[in-house]
């Protein structure tokens, strides 16, 4: 993996000082807010205080009102309702929310259906629609986190007399499916303020609209309102796992949901926290959710059956929930082993075909690869080669692919340009799924590579660290870092602040700790000395010598142990100052003024 270039966000010292005074924050915090397009006092107030009252009325979500009316009518008529959810975290959480809510609303004939990843593949499939209408005897089918590309399946549902409500958030194609209602934040002509809701958030907003029917028409009844507030934990989990922008309404959903997970988790979430958290008293953050809970839920859909994850999240029995959580944890361990093997094989195959760093894209596939891990493998190859990547699990009749993109490159649009080779595809800018005939794989790979070559900009091809601000170490007081915590929750659209400092001295040689992959370091600048850690540190860090003068890029955090709190730097990259030119000038990427 090549070392990244550093690029700094624009810096306007006068504007930062004025904004800091107007908002009442430190200049460093003001600069970070400006970097996130939080440019007025009013916007800053909403950003720093993402309370529940800032959620948009579900009536404004396209399709939600009509869908709610149809669902309420189906419940009143005691008709059979089936919820069809995707097998990832988003689909599992959305299915759980809607299934539990409709039970609360009085639905007596209610089931959920989640397709098997290997046997059925992604999305709504015709065999499942026929089964739901026939064998399961459903009258109303509601999709969650899927269906927006199910053109043929929507027609089949109509032919079978099955009422169909599609709720989804994925990219809309050239044609909408002929469902009775489509609930989607980006429907053509929609002015919904947050078009980046995940599938579970769409399901949550629909449940909220239904709840209003059981209240006074404007507000939900108290017991339904309590359910919706508790369900925010699942919405937050899905929003984080699906890597949608944590901005606007999503920021409110995640902030409030994390609070709920920390203070009052459901029985199922409590069991997942117990198996995934190394420290019982660790702070519930987007990292804990995204790297601890989410992979274990995903493991069910990747290797086994995602309905087990729904069973866990709907459980009310702590002992049963513990058993199911341990099962998911075991599957996740197995997933890691399969992933490691597949990543090694995929890298070898990519490099046998030429230099992956020089092409427009990486496309690899093999018959022995498990469809449940190809998305993760694609992510790992993007990390290695910094190119849009699609990894295929090749079957006898179909090759199933999962793609991941590099920052700023619209993967969905690139795939769409090659879609004549595909049986089906769907997704969004950062991630997508495709299916094609095995004999078309090589042709598709060549076309996709050519499209990416033509569309990728020079900047998108370059691995970069986008640094928010250069600062001095003496600025990083506990009070400032505590204030920076108000920018949480972090994620896509609101990344953790990445800072840099130059002319810092490595006080002593790095020390290994933990499982041998992490390093402790100590840096000094003037009279200020701060401890630092480098997680999964590259080999080049181990060779650093004491008294080296460095430029460092890092996240600033607070380390708490034995009641003591100190500022700690989490190192993302280190450049030796010898990299400066002979005239002693800073590299161009490190030319931003320091605060």
pLDDT at position 157: 98
Q: What is the DSSP string of 388-421?
A: -EEEEEE-SS-EEEEEE--TT--HHHHHHHTGGG
Strand partners of residue 81: 110, 140
Task: List, for residues 268-303, the tens digit of each pLDDT value.
Answer: 999 999 999 876 667 888 988 998 999 999 999 888
pLDDT averaged over every residue in the chain: 92
Please give the distance of CA 212 from its chain centroid, rounded to a whole number: 30
pLDDT of residue 577: 81
With contact defined as beta carbons under 8 Å apart, do 390 and 346 qualify? no
C-beta of residue 81 within 8 angstroms of C-beta of residue 109: yes
pLDDT of residue 280: 62
Lowest mean pLDDT segment, chosen from 124-138, 339-353, 450-464, 573-587: 573-587
Q: Mean pLDDT across the stretch 384-411?
A: 95
Residue 592: the pLDDT is 39
What confidence tier does 388 reach under pLDDT thresholds 50, 70, 90? very high
List, as one string, the DSSP characters of 112-145.
EE---HHHH-SS--HHHHHHHHTTT--SEEEEES
Quickly name the fold that domain 54-218 has: inorganic pyrophosphatase (n-terminal core) (3.90.1640)
3-state secondary structure of 171: coil
Residue 74 has pLDDT above 60, yes or no: yes
The pLDDT, as a whole number, for residue 595 is 39
Given a cut of 50, whether residue 104 has pLDDT beyond it is yes
Is 165 within 8 Å of 74 (Cβ atoms)? no
Q: What is the CATH number of domain 466-590?
A: 2.40.50.460
Do residues 556 and 476 lie in contact, with contact meaning Cβ atoms separated by under 8 Å? yes
Parse the chain into domains and list their residue ranges. Answer: 54-218, 353-461, 466-590
For the residues 167-195, what does the mean pLDDT come to? 94
pLDDT in tens, 199-250: 999 999 999 999 998 866 667 778 899 999 999 999 999 999 998 999 999 9
- Is it the case that residue 387 has pLDDT exceeding 90? yes
494 secondary structure, DSSP code:
B
pLDDT for the residue numbered 483: 96
Each residue of 526-563: pLDDT tens digit? 999 999 999 988 888 989 999 999 999 999 999 988 88
Which tokens in the block code for residue 334? 């197995």
- Tell me the mean pLDDT in the region 405-415: 95
Residue of 1 and 264 predicted with greater confidence: 264
**565 has pLDDT over 50:** yes
**What is the rounded distance in angstroms from the CA atom of residue 146 to the CA atom of residue 177?**
11
At 589 the pLDDT is 38
Statement: 353-461 belongs to CATH 3.10.310.30: yes
Q: What is the DSSP letter of 2?
A: P
- Is residue 132 within 8 A of residue 84, CB to CB? The reply is yes
Please give the structure tokens belonging to residue 444.
Answer: 């598709």
Centroid of chain to Cα 135: 36
DSSP assignment letter at 489: S
The pLDDT tens digits of the residues spanning 482-519 come to 999 999 999 988 999 999 999 999 999 999 998 888 99
pLDDT value at residue 122: 80
Q: What is the mean pLDDT of residues 15-32?
A: 96
Rounded Cα–Cα distance for residues 487 and 483 (Å): 8
Cα–Cα distance between 63 and 53 in angstroms, integer?
22
Given the DSSP bridges, would you call strands 399-404 and 431-436 parallel, antiparallel or unpaired? antiparallel
Q: Looking at residues 84-97, what average pLDDT do you find?
A: 96
């Amino acid at each position: 993996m090549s070392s990244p270039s550093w690029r700094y966000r624009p810096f306007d010292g006068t504007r930062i000082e004025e904004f800091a005074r107007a908002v009442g924050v430190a200049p460093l915090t003001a600069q970070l807010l400006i970097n996130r397009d939080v440019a007025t006092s009013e916007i800053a107030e909403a950003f720093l205080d993402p309370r529940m009252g800032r959620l948009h009325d579900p009536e404004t979500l396209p399709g939600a009102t009509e869908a709610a009316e149809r669902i309420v009518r189906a419940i009143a008529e005691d008709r059979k309702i089936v919820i069809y959810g995707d097998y990832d975290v988003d689909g599992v959480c959305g299915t759980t929310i809607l299934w539990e809510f409709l039970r609360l609303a009085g639905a007596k004939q209610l089931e959920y259906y989640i397709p098997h990843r290997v046997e059925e593949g992604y999305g709504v499939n015709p065999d499942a629609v026929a089964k739901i209408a026939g064998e399961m005897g459903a009258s109303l089918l509601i999709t969650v986190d899927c269906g927006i590309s199910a053109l043929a399946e929507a027609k089949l549902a109509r032919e079978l007399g099955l009422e169909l409500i599609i709720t989804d958030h994925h990219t809309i194609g050239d044609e909408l499916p002929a469902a009775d209602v489509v609930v989607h934040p980006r429907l053509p002509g929609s002015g919904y303020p947050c078009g980046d809701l995940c599938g579970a958030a769409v399901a949550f907003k629909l449940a909220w609209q239904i709840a209003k029917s059981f209240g006074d028409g404007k507000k939900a009844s108290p017991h339904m309102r309590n359910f919706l507030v508790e369900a925010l934990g699942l919405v937050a989990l899905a929003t984080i796992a699906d890597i949608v922008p944590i901005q606007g309404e999503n920021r409110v959903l995640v902030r409030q949901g994390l609070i709920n997970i920390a203070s009052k988790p459901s029985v199922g979430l409590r069991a997942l926290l117990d198996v995934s958290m190394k420290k019982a008293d660790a702070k519930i953050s987007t990292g804990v959710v995204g790297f601890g809970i989410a992979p274990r839920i995903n493991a069910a859909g990747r290797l086994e059956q995602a309905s087990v994850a729904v069973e866990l999240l709907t459980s009310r029995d702590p002992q049963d929930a513990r058993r199911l959580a341990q099962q998911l944890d075991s599957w996740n361990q197995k997933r890691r082993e399969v992933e490691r093997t597949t990543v090694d094989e995929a890298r070898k195959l990519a490099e046998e075909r030429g230099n992956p760093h020089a092409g427009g894209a990486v496309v690899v596939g093999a018959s022995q690869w498990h469809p449940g891990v190809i998305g993760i493998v694609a992510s790992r190859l993007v990390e290695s080669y910094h190119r849009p990547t699609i990894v295929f699990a090749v079957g006898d009749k179909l090759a199933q692919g999962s793609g991941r993109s590099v920052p700023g490159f619209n993967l969905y649009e690139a795939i769409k340009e090659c879609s004549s080779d595909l049986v089906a595809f769907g997704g969004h800018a950062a991630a997508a799924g495709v299916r094609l005939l095995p004999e078309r794989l090589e042709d598709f790979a060549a076309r996709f590579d050519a499209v990416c070559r033509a569309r990728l900009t020079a900047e998108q091809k370059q691995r970069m660290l986008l640094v928010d601000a250069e600062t001095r170490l003496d600025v990083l007081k506990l009070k400032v870092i505590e204030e920076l915590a108000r920018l949480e929750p972090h994620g896509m659209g609101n990344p953790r602040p990445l800072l840099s400092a130059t002319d810092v001295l490595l006080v002593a040689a790095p020390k290994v700790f933990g499982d041998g992959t992490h390093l402790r370091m100590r840096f000094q600048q003037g009279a200020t000395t701060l401890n630092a850690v480098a997680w999964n540190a590259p080999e080049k860090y181990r060779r650093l010598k004491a008294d080296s003068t460095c430029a460092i890029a890092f996240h600033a955090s607070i380390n708490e142990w034995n009641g003591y709190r100190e500022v700690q730097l989490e190192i993302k990259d280190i450049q030796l100052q010898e990299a400066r030119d002979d005239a002693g000038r800073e590299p161009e990427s490190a030319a931003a003024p320091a605060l």
